Chain A
Amino acid sequence: MKQHKFKILLMIVVVLLPLAAVELATFLNQSLSYRSPVGVEGTEQTPRMQGIGDEQAEAEQEAREKPYEEAEYREFPVVGSRVAVWVIAQLHLLFAAFVLAVPIFALIIEFIGYFSKDPALKKRYDRLAYEFTKLLSTSFSLTATFGAFLTFMLIILYPKFTNYLMSVFSPTFLPYVLLFFAEAFFLYSYYYGWGKFSPRVHLALGVGLNLVGTAIMFIANAWLTFMTSPAGISETGALISTWEAVTNYTWMPINIHRIIANVAFGGSIAGAYAAYKFLQSRSDEERAHYDWMGYIGNMVAIAAFLPLPFAGYWLASEIYAFNQTLGLTMMGGAFSWLFIIQAVLIGNLFLAANYYLWLGMGRIEGAERFHKYIKYLLVAITVCFMVWATPRSIIATVEEVRAMGGSSHPVLGLLGVMSAKNTAVNILILSTFMSFLLYRRAGKTAVVEWARKGNLAQFAIFAAVCVFVIFLGVYGYFVETAVRIGLSIPQVLSVLIAMVAITVIDVFLFRGAKKGDTNWGKIPAVSQYVLIFLAVTFTWLMGLMGYVRSGLRQHWHVYAVIRDTSPDAYTPTLGYATQVVSVTVLIFFVFIGLVFWLTSLSDKKSWQERAAEEAEKKARQAQAGDGGWQPEPAMLRESNPADAS
Chain B
Amino acid sequence: MHLYVLLPILAVMLLLQWRKVGMLVWLFVYWIGIFVILKYGFTTPVPQSVISLYMGIITFALIIYISWDKKRFRAVVDPLVAFMTRRRYTVPLVLVVVLIPSLVATSVYLSRTAPVQAPFFARTVHPATPASISAFSTDYDLATLDNPLRPLESDDPQAFARHVANGRAVYYENCHYCHGDDMTGNGQFAHGLNPIPTNFADSGTIAMLQESYLFWRIAKGAPGLPEEGGPWESAMPVWENFLTEEEIWEVVLFLYDFTDQRPRAREEVH
Interface residues of A (CB under 8 A from B): 249, 317-318, 320-326, 328-329, 331-334, 336-337, 344, 347-348, 351, 354-355, 358-359, 362, 371, 374-375, 378, 381-382, 385-386, 389-413, 416-417, 477, 480-482, 485, 524, 526, 554, 560, 570-571
Contacts and interface: CB of A to CB of B under 8 A. Distances in A.
What's the dominant secondary structure at chain B's contact region?
loop
Contact of A317 (B118, B194, B198, B267): B267
A249 B270 contact: yes
B117 A397 contact: yes
Contacts of B68: 355, 358-359, 374
A147 to B, nearest CB: 31
Nearest to B129: A325
Given A382-B57, A403-B45, A480-B265, A395 B184 contact: no
Interface string B197-223: 011001110011010010000000000
Contacts of A410: 44
Given A249-B269, A359-B68, A410-B44, A401 B50 contact: no
Given A328-B128, A386-B57, A482-B267, 12 more contacts: A320-B267, A321-B268, A325-B130, A355-B68, A385-B57, A392-B204, A397-B118, A399-B117, A406-B199, A407-B123, A410-B44, A560-B131
A412 B123 contact: no
A406 B185 contact: yes
B102 to A, nearest CB: 26
A378 B121 CA distance: 34
**Which 5 A-B residue pairs are closest in the complex by CB-CB distance?**
A332-B126, A482-B265, A480-B262, A329-B128, A396-B47
Sorting the interface of chain B by its residue count into under 10, 10 to 19, 20 to 34 or 35 or more gives 35 or more
Contact of B264 (A318, A480, A571): A480
A572 to B, nearest CB: 11
Contacts of A354: 64
Contact of A395 (B49, B185, B228): B49
B208 A409 contact: no
B259 interface: no
A409 B123 contact: no
Contacts of B58: 382
Nearest to A574: B122
Nearest to B184: A405
Nearest to B267: A321
B97 interface: no
Contacts of A395: 47, 49, 120-122
B54 interface: yes
A417 B125 CA distance: 12
Contacts of B191: 402
A485 B264 CA distance: 10
B204 A405 contact: no
Nearest to B199: A406
A248 to B, nearest CB: 11
Contact of B228 (A318, A405, A554): A554
Contacts of A412: 46, 50
A64 B2 CA distance: 81
B242 interface: no
Contacts of B49: 394-396
B64 to A, nearest CB: 5
A334 B122 CA distance: 10
B112 interface: no
A242 to B, nearest CB: 20
Contact of A391 (B50, B185, B263): B50
A480 B266 CA distance: 12
